[in-house]
Amino acid sequence: AASGIGKATAKEFVRNGAKVVLADVQDDLGHAIAAELGADASCYMRCDVTDEVQVAAAVDLAVARHGRLDVVLSNAGVVGSLARPPLGALDLADFDRVMAINTRGVMAGVKHAARAMVPRRSGSIICMASIAGVLGSVAPHPYSVSKAAVVGLVRAVAGELARSGVRVNAISPNYIPTPLVMRILEEWYPEKSAAEHRQIVERDINEMEGVVLEPEDIARAALYLASDESMYVN
């Protein structure tokens, strides 16, 4: 929640009256965003999603501070190695790390969100997937597989949790000019300038003429899925 989509979503939620717990491993950025949003509306907690104990603690903190947990956005993610080797040279240690954060970390978030939401028979769980999990070949293999698994995870648990009044949905963004994506493009196209990297996202990858996808657009989609306006979207 300290940068990119997570940061934009935290701001959008607070702007619409939510109280948020920011969970991340980027401590300096996390504390800065919490200070910007204000102590009444937010707090920051360090949370490594590969450690289930820390994920559970983040959920417990939200319940302790606010009495209940209405929404969880499971958004932590990494791309892993940007080397893009042929499949025969794939680094399985890198694959395991990406899966641990992007997929197992999401499952931990869903598990502990459900623990808090099911007894109240209410809640919305939102998981960040990617077009890479649907299309393939647009990102390194570990990332694509991890995001496909997130989509499968959401489908797997949505039916069970719906019977307890809890909705589960995924958002699958296209490329967005976040710091993460810009670092990827810098690695892949070192000969190009920062402006040219942004142009790749805005013009070459973008499918909507005259519209550039920004983190704030994803934040508004998450707000919709968090709200009663999507009460039958699951």
Question: Which phi and psi (to 5°) does residue 167 adopt?
Answer: -95, 145
DSSP class of 228: G
Segment (H or E) for 108: helix 105-117
Cβ atoms 215, 176 nearer than 8 A? yes
Cα 94 → chain centroid: 20
Cβ atoms 132, 150 nearer than 8 A? no
Known active-site residue 44: no
Cα 130 → chain centroid: 9
Which of the residues 143, 189, 224, 232 is marked catalytic? 143
Which residue, chain included where needed, has tokens 């694959």? 95
Nearest-angstrom CA–CA distance, 46 and 24: 5
Residues with active-site annotation: 143
